[in-house]
Structures are given as structure tokens and as C-alpha cells.
Chain A
């Protein structure tokens, strides 16, 4: 389980997180929604340990990771799989080598076993036969799927996905959502996903939290979020522009 308590972060004079409280139950998919530039990716980077907060705690399975560094933080991260917004594939390696990289570096598995696992993951994301290609030679949607395969190849307990479908066409958005749901059904990992895809995310999320102006303004099941009586939530779900009167 992941619990965030009173998380605050500023960059210079800009206060991005103003006291975020959030709980992600083990084995569930939590989707964080909110406007662009609202701090969702910043929040995710705190959960991964890439940023240190000005105040607050991030507790992963009972351990506060905020004060951790070095081997202690690496031990927590070893259970993580992360899908970055742009994929963050290593462009000097082939697709196969990208997916195999965490296994080669973090395990002592024999070469045949690594090959089998990588091919299995690539098949799961519908990319059998593209292992020899360079990331630059495949489409944006394929790169996202390779990133998902790489994040899941070590069978992590916690998966973070930073806008895994941004910039993709609606069919690919649904394909990737179904893929995440299917992989989650098989592996039961805990997932935290940042997304703008309304209403598609309601079909895959176990819980949804909305981040607005640096705080979580609503959190709950997809149904409860859709039924929320908070104007800011309803406006976001309906995609309505903020007017001065409503703001």
C-alpha cells in the first residue's frame, strides 16, 4: 500500500503541491486526474523517489521513502516498474535489449530465460517480431507498449504510469488501457497512473483521485467521482472551460 501524507513541493515561488493526502490500496489501479500543469507528474515523481518534498511523507508498505537514499531507496525501487510519459526507451538499444535491460542488470537469469521472458512480454503487448528494431523506427503507440513491457518484465509489485496514452489516437488509447487492465488482472500489481483520458480511465480504474491546485479535491471509486457534487470535478469530467463566474 502507498500512503501520501501532507506532501508539499514548491519550485521557486511556484507552489505545485500544497498538502497532498492520498492512499493507494495494494493491488488496485489508482488513476490520478487533473488539469495539465497541475502537478500530477510531480506527485508521481515523489512516489518514485525522483523528487524530495519540502514537507510531507510518502509511505510505501510501511516505509517512509522521503528520507531514504542509496541502497535503502534502491531496495524499494527494485519493486517498482515505471512507464514514463515519453517512454524513456534507451535509443542506443534495440526494442529487445530495452526490455531485456532490467533483467540483465538486476538478475542472474540465464540468457535463454531472459530471451523467453522478453519475448513473452513483447507478445503480451502485441509486439512480437519487432524486438530487433530501434525505438526510433517504431510508432509512438508501439514505443508506449515497449515501455509498458519493460516496466513489467521484472514482475514489479508497484507500477507507475505517467500519461501512458497521451498523444495517441482513441483506438490506441483503448488498446493500451485494455492491455494495462489485462496485465493487472494477471499480475495484481498496485498501479498509480496519471491520465487525462476522460471518460476512458473510468473503465480501468479501481479508484480515481483528482488533483486540483496542489491538493486532492476528490478521491474514490470511478462511480463516486462521476457522481461527485464538486463543481471542479464535474467541470473537469465534462471538459468545460472555467469561466470567471464558475472559478
Chain B
């Protein structure tokens, strides 16, 4: 059969589906190669320590206000809602562990990741995208300096370092917010809130939250730097890449969270 012959009408949907599948596989391959290229540069010398510190400041420190604010109100809302449910069963004493477990195992890592993807991830994509369209990345390349080593590897390392730390802060602030509502507003005793919390939260719960936040740190910085490197032309290309980076890293965070939820204890 002639390869250049037009596809029969009946087969066109199959052809379209095949094209989409091939495009998805191709982009997954590019995604994977990007990470495989950048990840070893986090540890292979010369490690750009100064760039890693600067990225920690960019991703972590500058996100602290929004992380603390969101953590506090998440804990407060959780306490309010869970107290309502528990009071119907006369189990208000379990408010502390319920808030803490929800935050440590699930909401802390996920919400923290979504917030940082929106704040720092979008900025990361825009910054690298602008460097791409203004030939700053080409300038690094022709200086025989690896843009992956300068731009991607430090962001990945910073993501792995800052996400667990920010999640820990989010959890602590959230538990504090739950305390304010549960103890100061709804009249639960402080001893009950914290006493039951210590009884029910164990190391496995904390490690679940830790592994989630660590992997979300990798996902967000990986997606956002990839999108920056592969943005289209002009301001529109950067804008589209930024939107795609936030949407994709948020969706992947939620999908990966479900997967980890099924495999982690």
C-alpha cells in the first residue's frame, strides 16, 4: 500500500488516535530524558552550591508567608469541620489526632505542593522561559557551560530540600490553627487535644508525609523547569508554558498522591 495515499475516511479516527498516542509517548520520553540528564548533575561535580542556595531562597523562603497562612487556615477549617462531625458521636477528644493525621499524611504535602507550584513553580517556568527566548540559555551553551547544571539541577535539589521542610512547617502551623479553634474557640482542653495527638500519630504517618513531600518537590521542579526549557516563542509562548507547568504539576501531584496513598503504610 502506498504510504502517501490518503487514509480512508473510516480509518481517520484510528489514525488520529494513533497520532495522539505517539505524541504522548514521545513527550513522555523527552520528559524522562530531561530528568535523566539533570538529576545526576545535582551530585556530580562541579555542584553549583551557590545556585542551590539561591534556589532554596527562591522556592522555599519566598513561599513561607503563603505556606504559613494556608497552613493556619487549613488547620482551623479542619478543626471546625471535624469537631462538628465528632461531636455527633461524642468523640470530640479525637479532634487533635484527626486534624494532625489529615495534615501530616495528606493535606500538608498536597496543599503545600499545590501552593508552591502556583507561586514558585510558575515563576521558575517564566524565568527559564524568558531566558530561553532572550537567548540567555544559548549564551550559557556557547560558553561551554551546561544550562542543565546551572538552571535545572539546582532547582531540583532545592525542591527536594525545601518541600519537606515547608510541609513540616505547614503541618505544625496547621496543628496550631486546629488548636486555636478546638481549644480556644470550641472549648476542648489543651491536654486532650495534644495528649490524644501524641497517642495516635506515629513515625509511619510522618514518614508517609515526608515521602510524599519529597516526591512532590521533584515533580513540581521537574515539570516547571522542563516547561521553561521547552517554551514556545515570545511572550505568548512563555505564558502558555507557565500555565501548562502549573496545571500539569498540580495534576501530577494529585495523581501521584493517590498512588503513594495506596502503596505507603
> A: which residues have CB within 8 A of B?
48-50, 74-75, 77-78, 80, 82, 84-86, 88-91, 101-102, 105-106
User: Can you name the residue of chain A whose Cβ is closest to the Cβ of B130?
Assistant: A91
User: Can you name the residue of chain B whose Cβ is closest to the Cβ of A77?
Assistant: B144
A88–B139 CB distance below 8 A:
yes
Nearest-neighbour CB distance to chain A for B124, whole angstroms, equals: 13
Q: Which residues of B contact A82 (CB under 8 A)?
A: 139, 142
* Contact-residue size bin, chain B (C-beta under 8 Å from the other chain): 10 to 19
- In the bound assembly, the distance between CA atoms of A106 and B134 in angstroms comes to 22
User: Can you name the residue of chain B whose Cβ is closest to the Cβ of A98?
Assistant: B139
The 7 closest A-B pairs by CB, nearest first: A74-B144, A88-B135, A88-B139, A77-B144, A84-B135, A82-B142, A78-B144
Nearest-neighbour CB distance to chain A for B207, whole angstroms, equals: 37
11 new A-B contacts at CB < 8 Å, known A48-B142, A106-B145 = A50-B142, A74-B144, A75-B144, A77-B141, A77-B142, A77-B144, A84-B139, A86-B134, A86-B135, A90-B131, A91-B130
B135–A85 CB distance below 8 A:
yes
- In the bound assembly, the distance between CA atoms of A49 and B138 in angstroms comes to 10
Contact residues, B139-181 vs A (CB, 8 A):
139, 141-145
B143–A105 CB distance below 8 A:
yes
Q: Is the interface of B mostly helix, strand, loop or mixed?
A: helix
**Given known A-B contacts A84-B135, A86-B135, A88-B134, A50 and B141 have beta carbons under 8 A apart:** yes
User: Does chain A have a CB within 8 A of B136?
Assistant: yes
User: Can you name the residue of chain B whose Cβ is closest to the Cβ of A74?
Assistant: B144
Q: Which residues of A contact B144 (CB under 8 A)?
A: 74-75, 77-78, 106
Q: List 16 A-B contacts (CB under 8 A).
A: A48-B142, A49-B142, A50-B141, A74-B144, A75-B144, A78-B144, A80-B142, A82-B139, A82-B142, A86-B135, A88-B136, A91-B130, A101-B143, A105-B143, A106-B143, A106-B144
Q: Which residues of A contact B136 (CB under 8 A)?
A: 88-91
A102–B135 CB distance below 8 A:
no
Q: Which residues of A contact B135 (CB under 8 A)?
A: 84-86, 88
Most chain A CB neighbours (cut-off 10 Å) among B131, B136, B142, B145: B142
User: Can you name the residue of chain B whose Cβ is closest to the Cβ of A82?
Assistant: B142
Contact residues, B87-143 vs A (CB, 8 A):
130-131, 134-136, 138-139, 141-143
- In the bound assembly, the distance between CA atoms of A59 and B131 in angstroms comes to 29
